[in-house]
Amino acid sequence: MRVRSVINAEGDKLFAPWFVDASGSAASLFPRTFRLPVYKYGPKKVAVWDYFKVTEALEGTTLYADGEGPPYMEWVWQITVQPDTISVGYVTTGDAMKQKRQAGLTIDEIYAQQLAHFPELERLLPYTGSPRTASFLCRAHGKTCGPNWVAIGESAAMVDPMTSNGVTAALRHAGEASQLITRYRSRKQIPWLARALYSRRVLSMANFFNSGIERVIYDWPIRNRIGGLTAGDVYTIPAWSINNIYSRIEPRGVVSTVSFGLLLSTLRAAMNVFYWFCRRSRTASPVCVVS
């Protein structure tokens, strides 16, 4: 599956010895064109957001959610994009959004309702804007590198925005893709093993972050068992640690890539066991002992 040329929307035919696919999750040009394997995580989600002017500068990012109770968690973000501007967004499942729309609510009304749930955001009401919307499905392609092309960023793997790992992953992919092209440019193609190792690293990291956020945060068993804040720590501490370890060891060869993959598999297995335990203990039927 070697790429010889690409035709853009204007009909221009582009030739190049190497191609980097950074077309994003909506396109995923090469993986979808070649119908490569894809792994999906969680339901389809919808994000609704807008920008607000504020009089006082805010620092950092704040996430709002009902951490205990709902079978599948919804959440709201507040991000400072400029000293006097914040972005506020609401993320829910496609099915939940569909139900609210079928109940007669407009997107504006749904968005305003979410702001009203939190006192820190209620001050932004009444809402008179027109929010932006986007749907997304977290997924990762099983193959993200070919003889003369490499997929990076969300074209290779769409990681849930709550993980805060999208930019980090995109930069990591870009760095590794550049190294592959630079190293093998005289051979005019990337060897099979190097392609396979890059694809494995992309898939392993996306699998770890997406499956982790689904099991620990979005779904109810662990979150309701130990509480929303504790569940956040259970997910965040290993996730940030993994990013730190990856940046330090920079796995590239067979041994380092396989070893790092085994580490991720071990952590996922432990998480799945904990998830199973929490779900079973919560749903088990009560036992009546008669003496």
Query: In 3D, which of 208, 225, 223 has the Cα closest to residue 266?
Result: 208
Q: Could you tell me the pLDDT band of residue 272, with boundaries at 50, 70 and 90?
A: very high
Looking at the structure of the chain, the number of domains it has is 2
Domain boundary (109, 136, 163) is at 136
Residue 128 lies in a domain: yes
| Domain ranges, residue 216 | 16-37+144-279
Mean pLDDT over each residue of the chain, to the nearest integer: 91
Within this chain, do residues 127 and 160 fall inside the same structural domain, yes or no? Answer: no
Domain boundary (136, 170, 192) is at 136
How much of the chain exceeds pLDDT 70, in percent?
A: 96
Residue 289 lies in a domain: no
- pLDDT tens for 17-53 read 999 999 999 899 999 999 999 999 999 999 999 999 9
Residue 239 lies in a domain: yes
How much of the chain exceeds pLDDT 90, in percent?
A: 76
Instruction: Indicate which CATH number applies to the domain containing 110.
Output: 3.30.9.100
Helix or strand holding residue 196 (H, E): helix 192-213
Residue 137 has pLDDT above 50, yes or no: yes
Residue 210 lies in a domain: yes
Within this chain, do residues 154 and 22 fall inside the same structural domain, yes or no? Answer: yes
Within this chain, do residues 29 and 60 fall inside the same structural domain, yes or no? Answer: no
Which pLDDT value is given to residue 56? 79
Domain boundary (112, 136, 160) is at 136
Average pLDDT value for residue range 263-288: 79
Within this chain, do residues 171 and 131 fall inside the same structural domain, yes or no? Answer: no
Within this chain, do residues 234 and 253 fall inside the same structural domain, yes or no? Answer: yes
Residue 150 has pLDDT above 60, yes or no: yes
Query: Whole-structure pTM over 0.85, yes or no?
Result: yes
Residue 285 lies in a domain: no
Which pLDDT value is given to residue 282? 64
Which pLDDT value is given to residue 133? 96
Within this chain, do residues 103 and 163 fall inside the same structural domain, yes or no? Answer: no
Burial 85-100 (b: 16+ CB within 10 A, else e): ebbbbbbbbeebbeeb
Residue 141 has pLDDT above 90, yes or no: yes
Residue 58 has pLDDT above 80, yes or no: no
Burial 124-140 (b: 16+ CB within 10 A, else e): beebeeebeeeebebbb
Distance CA 236, CA 116 (A): 27
Choice between 164 and 96, residue whose per-residue pLDDT is larger: 96
Residue 290 has pLDDT above 60, yes or no: no
Residue 10 lies in a domain: no
Long-range Cβ pairs for the range 259-263 (8 Å, 24+): 260/201, 260/204, 261/200, 261/201, 261/204
Residue 248 has pLDDT above 60, yes or no: yes
